[in-house]
Amino acid sequence: MEKTIHTKKGAKNAIIKILILAAFLIMAIYVMRFTPVKGYLTAEELGHFLDRAGIWAPVVYMLTYVFGVCLFVPGTLLTGLGAAIFGAYWGFLYVWVGAMLGASAAFFIGRTLGREFAASLIGDKLKKYDDAIERNGFATVLYLRLVYFPFTPMNFGMGLTKVRFWDYFTGTGLGIIVGTFVFTFFIGTLKEVWASSNWGELLSLKVFFSVALFAFSFFIPTIIKKIKGEDPPS
């Protein structure tokens, strides 16, 4: 009898949490689509805001990235803004740290509010995949990051699985380095060219290098698959 009561209470808590998660996601999408908030996510507006922050500008930007990820702002937009404001190299550092903090925050939101409900829906057929993600979490997360799986949905989605946080964290950290560096390097270089009005720099070795590296990054999953001699994790 006591076990039955405990089970019903657990199921009720899981439903309440998933409803809170659903409300949060709906609110996030609403805020970004139908409020003036999105108007501030431009290089000019965010740049003015960060100028007022002074030496704390990098910290403010990284916190903005964290909230942006949780509010479903596209990662490419946040990354591009960081590169345009801080340049190629510092931009890369601030973007990477902000993305990691944002990915971690979204993961914990999904894990805290959605994992219990997700676990209750998993049958025998899906359980083996959930167990596999727990065993091979690092490789799975790394692969999905390398193939540019949508950033924000994956952050929340992984929180619903059994993947260990540190497998998720390290897989994410390594998996986004190449794409983050290439994107910030390219945008930062364009910013320098625009600021100097030296359009000949668009044909520089630095620009060609960033484009070549970006193109190469798309072949990384195929290379990994051939080296391992097996299908990618699914």
Amino acid at 224: I
Beta carbons within 8 Å of 94's beta carbon, 6+ residues apart = 58, 61, 62, 65, 82, 86
* pLDDT for residue 5: 45
* Residues of the chain below pLDDT 50: 1-6, 232-234
DSSP letters of 101-167? HHHHHHHHHHHHHHHHHHHHH--HHHHHHHHHHHHTHHHHHHHHHHTT--HHHHHHHHHTS---HHH
pTM over 0.85: no
* pLDDT for residue 173: 94
* pLDDT for residue 101: 96
47-106 pLDDT, tens digit per residue, is 788 888 889 999 999 999 998 898 888 888 889 889 888 988 899 999 999 999 999 999
* pLDDT for residue 21: 79
Query: Taking all residues of the chain, what is their mean pLDDT, rounded to a whole number?
Result: 79
How far is Cα 93 from Cα 99, in angstroms, rounded to an integer? 10
* pLDDT for residue 220: 67
Could you tell me which of 90, 86, 64 has the C-alpha nearest to residue 75? 64
DSSP letters of 177-233? HHHHHHHHHHHHHHHHHHHHT-GGGGGSHHHHHHHHHHHHHTTHHHHHHHHHTSPPP
How deeply is 199 buried, as exposed, middle or buried, from its count of CB atoms within 10 A (0-12, 13-18, 19+)? exposed
* pLDDT for residue 221: 63
* pLDDT for residue 6: 45
What does the block give as tokens for 228?
Answer: 């391992």
